[in-house]
Structure 1
Amino acid sequence: MSSSTLPKCMRAWTFSSQGLPRDILSLDHSYPAPSPPAKSNLLIRVSCVGLNPGCYITMATIPPLVRRLLRGPTSPIAEGEFSGVIHLAGPAAPKEFAPGTPVFGCLPMMRLIAGEGTLAEYIVIPSSLVAVVPQSMSMVQAAGLSGAGQTALNMFSAVLVKEGDRILVNGGSGGVGTMVVQLAKAQGAYVVATCSGANAELVKGLGADQIVDYRTNKPLHKYLGLEYEKQPFDAIFDTIGTQDLFIYSPQYLKPNGTVVNVGNFEGPSMTVFRSFINTWLPVFLGGIPRNYLMISTTPNGNKAARLGQLVEEGKLRVVVDEIVEFEDVLRVSIASNKLEKWD
């Protein structure tokens, strides 16, 4: 393939204001296509994109002025996860990333904030952020592997999970939650997961030993205190960002246990504030006598490749809720792990 096969324009879902996707996204049919890649960068023809709630939150909370300062006058593009085929490789790109190679990956947070999104026909991305799609995976599945998968891996890097440990996964049916459930089972843990009753069979099928329906067991922290006081958890993996789950954790989490959070249900600003208080407020000043860790994800190709290996070993799979065509993105409701596909 050569740069002569690259069109001057492409389709891309863009936005210029702050808000929810259904309110601000528009399909641009003549967005400038990226230039041929330099150095070790890759120009990728996108096949599928994972629609991620984290991207919705950045679109709704990051002011347009911030994006203009980071990106300039070019309209931002939505989303951050993808799978695709390498169209052109920079002169210093590793040999395994030759044109025609199927790859997957996700963008770092600063690129998402700047609006360097993946919901377009072509993207340029550093080769250090991608991995080759496992042979046993479809391009649809690969598009939902990197972001949620690398977040889950980071959670397990922060807390050592041993065989026989009792683990609570809050949000077991979401993109990150489905990964955490599977990784915990691969470590030999006993897994209790929260989800709605409608998703109970799905989460059980991923390996969860017990399901807690958060809708029928409100308030959740009270139910957990009654049910698991005598068999407390070794760790809690919170993929939602539920503050009460940490506040009341002494009722169901061992004294040396840790709450690991990756969710920002209350929004980025409040999540950062809560994280600081949860981590540093001393017990004698009202702090909670349990460990708390807020984990962020800096994606890289090595971690993505590790996820691919776990898929090949049969220890991990991607749950796909729905597939929609490129033009139909706006009809997809805000939900985790929904994938968009086009050819």
Structure 2
Amino acid sequence: MPAPRSLGLPYPFGVPMRALLQPVYGEAHTLTMGDVPVPEPARGQVLVRVAAASVNAADVFLMRGVPRMVRPGHGLKRPARRRLGLDLAGVVAGVGPGVIRWKPGDPVFGQGLATLADCALAREHQLAPLPDAISPEHAAAVPVAGTTALRAVDVARVAPGQRVVVTGAAGGVGQFTAQLAALRGAEVIAVCSGRNIERVRSLGIEHVLDYETTSPLDTPIPYDAVIDNAGAVRIRDWRRVVAPGGSILPNSGVPGPDGGALMRVFKAQWYGLIASQRVRVFTGKVTAPALTELGVLLAAQRISPLLDTIYPLEQAPQALAAAGTHHARGKIVISISPLERHAS
């Protein structure tokens, strides 16, 4: 295999770099920091010098191995890859054979493999250009959550004038869903805890409910769509307040009144067959077109990431512990190295 082009990293391929390691399934205290070799990109892959990464609910599920539906493909008894992290922003440091979209020195953001490290691999078509005006910490908050939110508003068929409820509006997917629905002309009713109301309003969302004092089920006017990122309301109860032909999208892997993630999927599929509303489960997919669209919106300040805490890489276990509470006030970000923009 031809050797990939290298950017002259401080870590040549194969020598040690810092990385978060996951020896077993469990809570964040089982995670450790250690050294692993800088990976060499294979065909269609890009090596990225990671400036920043962020933590997603998927990282917490993979850390714990719960729900167990995440384990096939990741190791039934213990993690097969033993690394975590999906989101990244940084600079291309090398490209594998067949890569034509990127060259060393290109600032990028997107989805990678094991991104909680100094360097990470990514597929060529899961990256997009990092806008000049956007910090790597803000860009790293976007890929998985932002593209999932894009998919959510598409599946929900959000349109101008609709009344759209978004729960978990201070979380990763919720914050972007609320902003994107508002950009499409919907009247957004965002639901979050009382301590996050002003933070969500700062995103340009006018109607924000404190779920601790006000139930979104108490409405005299039916909703056109519900995008439920919290899972704290039964699907059958949402049906009472969503107009016929409207959309109900359950999107939470956390156990709730409808059961765990697998049971919620089963119930959604059942209601999708019998209900007068469109009850749909969906998955997001990180693609270059979706990332590019989000990058344009970021650069134009039409959407803005709501960040909780920025941790250094050495405190990545603490970052996973905070994410594991499922009460973060925005995206949890890991700052890894300064962004170095190199001449083409």
* Residue of 78, 90, 95 corresponding to 2:96: 90
| Corresponding letter in the other structure for 2:39 | P
8 Å contact kept, 1:46–1:84: yes
Match of 2:19 in 1: 12
Q: CA RMSD in A?
A: 2.6
1:262 maps to what in 2? Answer: 251
State the number of aligned residues: 319
C-alpha distance in 1 between matches for 2:302 and 2:118: 31
Question: Which of the numbers 200, 213, 223 marks the counterpart of 1:233?
Answer: 223
Q: Which of residues 49, 53, 67 in structure 1 aligns to 2:53?
A: 49
1:76 partner letter: R
1:79-158 to 2 correspondences below 5 Å: 79-95=85-101, 97-107=102-112, 116-158=113-155
Secondary structure of the structure 2 residue equivalent to 1:321: strand
**Is 1:298 matched up with 2:298?**
no
Give the C-alpha shift of residue 151 in structure 1: 0.2
1:176 corresponding residue in structure 2: 173
**For residue 237 of structure 2, what is the aligned residue in structure 1?**
248
Equivalent pair of 1:45/1:122 in contact (CA under 8 Å): yes
For 2:299 and 2:230, the matched residues in 1 are separated by 28
Provide the residue aligned with 2:312 in structure 1.
325
Aligned counterpart, 2:340:
none
Contact between 2:179 and 2:203, CA under 8 Å: does it hold in 1? yes
User: Residue 247 of structure 1 contacts residue 288 of structure 1 at CA under 8 Å; is this kept in 2?
Assistant: no
| Conservation of the 8 A alpha-carbon contact between 1:232 and 1:252 | yes
Write the mapping of 1:52-63 to structure 2, written as runs, cut at 5 A: 52-61=56-65
Q: Counterpart of 1:190 in structure 2: which amino acid?
A: E
In the alignment, the residues of structure 2 paired with residue 81 and residue 2 of structure 1 have an alpha-carbon distance, to the nearest angstrom, of 22
Deviation of 1:206 after TM superposition, in Å, equals 1.3
> Using a 3 Å threshold, how does the CA distance of structure 1 residues 125 and 303 change in structure 2: closer, same or farther?
same
Contact in 2 for aligned 1:249/1:290 (Cα 8 Å) = no
The Cα shift of 1:74 comes to 6.7
C-alpha separation between the residues in 1 aligned to 2:135 and 2:25?
34
For residues 165 and 122 of structure 1, what CA distance do their matches in structure 2 show? 43
- SS at structure 2 position matched to 1:294: coil
Q: Structure 2 length normalisation: TM-score? A: 0.85
Unmatched 5+ stretches in structure 1: 108-115, 218-222
Q: In structure 2, how many angstroms separate the alpha carbons of the residues matched to 1:55 and 1:238?
A: 20
Q: Could you tell me how far apart the structure 2 residues matched to 1:75 and 1:237 are?
A: 32
| Pairing 1:186–2:183 present | yes
Distance of 2:31 and 2:44 partners within structure 1 = 31
- So what's the TM-score if we normalise by structure 1? 0.85
The answer (yes or no) to whether the contact 1:320–1:338 under 8 Å persists in 2 is yes
SS at match of 1:50: strand
Counterpart amino acid of residue 321 in structure 1: D
Distance 1:258 1:87, change over 3 A: same
Gaps of 5+ in 2: 338-344
Per the alignment, residue 224 of structure 1 pairs with 216
Q: 2:71 & 2:267 partners in 1: Cα distance?
A: 29
Letter paired with 2:173: V
Letter in 2 for 1:14: L
Point out the structure with the larger helix share: 1
Deviating above 4 A after TM superposition, structure 1's stretches of 4 or more consecutive aligned residues are: 62-70, 72-75
